[in-house]
A = this chain, B = another copy of it.
Amino acid sequence: MNEHILVEIISQLTTLSEEEKSDIENSFPIKTFNKGTYLLKEGQIARDAYLVIEGCVREYKLIDGEEKTTEFYTENQSVINSSSMKDQSPSEINFVCTEETSLTVLNANLEKKLYEKHPRFESFCRDGVEQMMGQKHKKLTEFITLKPEQRYLKLQDERPDLINRVPQYYIASYLGIKPETLSRIRKKLMS
């Protein structure tokens, strides 16, 4: 049997005791969801975060009836709506699986219990959140500073798998442009 992904990640940094391992495994089950399953819907209060083992989750926001794609989460990425979880406020975004997706389900309450029992688990999580914060910060900076064509090139460079994994109109939306503009950019780059 494969090791639990969280155990695997933390074991790269330190040696976990058997009790720590089994507590992590028992607190954070691995689940597989069908394509099209919603992990979080607009209006719901987020109680779980997720770590993608295999698959893809699309994040989108509904603006004037149109789905604006704001993120794609694939292998080893965390899917979380921190604002909703922390403030217990209704989510403004949706998380939906674009393919069959296996994830570790990280329930906020169980996470807190684990912090109390194994304080150093909190250190790993603080570290992980700091890393995620850095990534979101970087993406925001890129989005503000780059032009659509540069954003596309960056995506192609950093996440080449994504281009062929999800429909192009999702990619266009994620880049903040119309599908026609994306087609034009792609044609220009290929010529």
Contact = CB atoms under 8 A, between A and B. Distances in A.
Interface residues of A, number: 42
A137 interface: yes
Interface string A63-106: 10000111100000000111101110000110000000000000
Contacts of A132: 133
Nearest to A126: B126
Copies in the complex: 2
A83 B135 contact: yes
A93 B141 contact: yes
Contacts of A133: 80, 82, 129, 132-133, 136
B145 A70 contact: yes
Nearest to A87: B134
A126 B99 CA distance: 32
A131 B70 contact: no
B61 A141 contact: yes
Contact of A136 (B69, B70, B80, B136): B136
Closest 10 CB pairs of A and B: A82-B134, A83-B134, A126-B126, A136-B136, A133-B133, A68-B145, A140-B140, A70-B141, A129-B129, A70-B144
25 contacts: A61-B141, A63-B145, A63-B146, A68-B145, A70-B144, A82-B130, A82-B131, A82-B137, A83-B138, A85-B134, A86-B127, A87-B134, A92-B138, A92-B141, A93-B141, A119-B119, A122-B122, A122-B126, A126-B129, A133-B133, A133-B136, A139-B140, A140-B140, A143-B143, A143-B176
Interface of A: 59, 61, 63, 68-71, 80-83, 85-87, 92-93, 115, 119, 122-123, 125-127, 129-141, 143-146, 174, 176
